């Protein structure tokens, strides 16, 4: 085995299909130095010109979108012609939308005494650490606002899915000045070294709460700026007046998209007792009919879990629910084939103490929980250390909107879930993170405020 590389696993087979260059801590130092050297010129580049670079990056990605989608599908597992192609399309849209943003200059006072302005300035070198569920799209979420704001970037993708992110950076560097965007892949503490590195001014991380805490601790001695989008265990509450025949398809899609491997997917579904059984059976029918398979097969609708650790966790959560008397209306056991395949699973008759309810499953298993009173459902939904997203489903939009505002989460949806916009802030409360992404709110996370007071 080459010590300077590591294996990348195809989750549809469980076997290695490629090798990826392995960066060292010493290489991190030289990469950060290159980013620091490039920063002053990039920061001084007018924002309109930086925006044109983003537009050029999008154009370059578009010419490579098919090959990039194939690589993404192979290493992540998602279906090629739907989910993988859709991720690349979303990355293009997000890049172009980000290029339109312009940070404001706030005028606080302008009179005979003084003029007071608030300006926004780039921070310096931004470290991006990305997860394995959306390797291209989340990299774009991190990179593009950082660059537009005038920062240089060092990105480390997940070692489970490094190849499509490295390819994205390679494409972007066709149009960017040298040193503005840099990438390193590796294992064995590289991310922690980035959080501690004195040459890095900010860390943006998407991933687990436990890793986020570790990054925060590493960043503390140098007081780095942080944006942490961490674990979510999103609750959806379906009211008694929700039309099952209208909402079931959307709830199903928002729970099982990307095989449930989405931070803001529906992961706990509280359903009023009046319609619980009807909705449970509708969702179970859809789960039983779903085609689960390798991402390169045309008939596949849902791919495998991305890695063995996540596959093992989902199996454990299903077994815990079974021992607690959970009733599986669909799925519930891993498929008997190579790779990390778990069928779409609907389980009922579990309580809030079951692991599949308390823990973020991040996989294709959805627990349905009965409730009688909506105040009780809200209390149960909010009784989580996480607070990324939540939703209310009802025919009464006014009532649903009032209830949505009582959810303890960063984003609350009505008759929807996990739909994001490049212009609307997205982030968590409680243990689901610090800071926000997207739009002017997210762009501001990559800049510092400078007050300019001009005395007259």
Catalytic residues: 229, 263
SS (H, E, C) the chain: CCCCEEEEEECCCCEEEEEEECCCHHHHHHHHHHHHHHHHHHHHCCHHHHHHHHHHHHHHHHHCHHHHHHHHHHHHCCCHHHHHHHHHHHHHHHHHHHHCCCCCCEEEEECCCEEEEEEEEECCEEEEECCCCCCCHHHHHHHHHHHHCCCEEEEECCCCCCHHHHHHHHHHCCCCCCCCEEECCCCCCHHHHHHHCCCCCEEEEECCHHHHHHHHHHHHHHCCEEEEECCCCCEEEECCCCCHHHHHHHHHHHHHHHHHCCCCCCCEEEEECCCHHHHHHHHHHHHHHCCECCCCCCCCCECCCCCHHHHHHHHHHHHHHHHCCCEEEECCCCCCCCCCCCCCEEEECCCCCCHHHHCCCCCCEEEEEEECCHHHHHHHHHCCCCCCEEEEECCCHHHHHHHHCCCCCCEEEECCCCCCCCCCCECCCHHHEECCECHHHHHHCCEEEEEEEEEC
Neighbours of 375 (CB within 10 A): 11
Instruction: For residues 24 and 3, give the distance between their C-alpha atoms in angstroms, rounded to a whole number.
Output: 11
| Separation between Cα atoms, residue 303 and residue 77, nearest integer Å | 5
Please tell me the distance from the alpha carbon of residue 323 to that of residue 147, in angstroms, as a whole number: 50
Tell which residue, 357, 416, 348, has the closest CA to residue 381. Answer: 357
């Amino acid at each position: 085995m080459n010590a300077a590389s590591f294996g990348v696993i195809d989750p549809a087979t469980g076997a290695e299909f490629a090798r990826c260059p392995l960066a060292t801590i010493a290489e991190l130092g030289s990469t950060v130095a290159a980013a620091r050297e490039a920063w002053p010129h990039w920061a001084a580049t007018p924002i309109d010109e930086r925006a044109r670079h983003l537009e050029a990056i999008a154009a370059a990605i578009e010419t490579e979108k098919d090959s990039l989608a194939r690589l993404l599908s192979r290493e992540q597992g998602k279906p090629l012609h739907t989910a993988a192609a859709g991720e690349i399309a979303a990355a293009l849209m997000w890049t172009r939308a980000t290029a339109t943003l312009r940070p404001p200059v706030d005028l606080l006072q302008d009179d005979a005494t003084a003029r007071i302005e608030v300006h926004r300035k780039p921070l310096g070198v931004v470290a991006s650490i990305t997860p394995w569920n959306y390797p291209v799209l989340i990299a774009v979420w991190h990179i593009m606002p950082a660059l537009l704001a005038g920062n240089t970037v060092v990105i480390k993708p997940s070692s489970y899915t490094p190849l499509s992110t490295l390819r994205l950076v390679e494409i972007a560097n066709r149009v960017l000045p040298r040193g503005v965007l840099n990438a390193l892949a590796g294992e064995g503490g590289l991310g922690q070294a980035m959080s501690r590195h004195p040459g890095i001014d900010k860390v943006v991380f998407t991933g687990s709460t436990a890793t986020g805490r570790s990054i925060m601790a590493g960043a503390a001695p140098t007081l780095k700026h942080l944006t942490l989008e961490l674990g979510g265990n999103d609750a959806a509450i379906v009211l008694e007046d929700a039309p099952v025949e209208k909402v079931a398809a959307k709830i199903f899609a928002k729970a099982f998209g990307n095989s449930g491997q989405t931070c803001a997917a529906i992961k706990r579904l509280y359903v009023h007792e009046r319609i619980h059984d009807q909705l449970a059976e509708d969702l179970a029918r859809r789960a039983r009919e779903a085609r689960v398979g390798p991402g390169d097969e045309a008939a596949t609708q849902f791919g495998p879990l991305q890695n063995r650790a996540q596959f093992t966790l989902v199996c454990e959560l299903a077994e815990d629910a079974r021992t607690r008397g959970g009733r599986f209306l669909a799925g519930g056991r891993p498929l008997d084939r190579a790779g990390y395949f778990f069928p779409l699973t609907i389980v009922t008759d579990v309580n809030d103490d079951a692991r599949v309810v308390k823990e973020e499953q991040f996989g294709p298993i959805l627990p349905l929980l009965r409730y009688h009173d909506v105040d009780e459902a809200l209390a149960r939904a909010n009784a989580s250390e996480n607070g990324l997203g939540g939703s209310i489903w009802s025919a009464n939009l006014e009532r649903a909107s009032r209830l949505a505002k009582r959810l303890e989460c960063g984003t609350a949806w009505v008759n929807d879930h996990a739909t994001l916009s490049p212009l609307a802030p997205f982030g968590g409360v409680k243990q689901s993170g610090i800071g926000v992404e997207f739009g002017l709110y997210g762009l501001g996370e990559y800049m510092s405020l400078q007050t300019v007071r001009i005395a007259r």
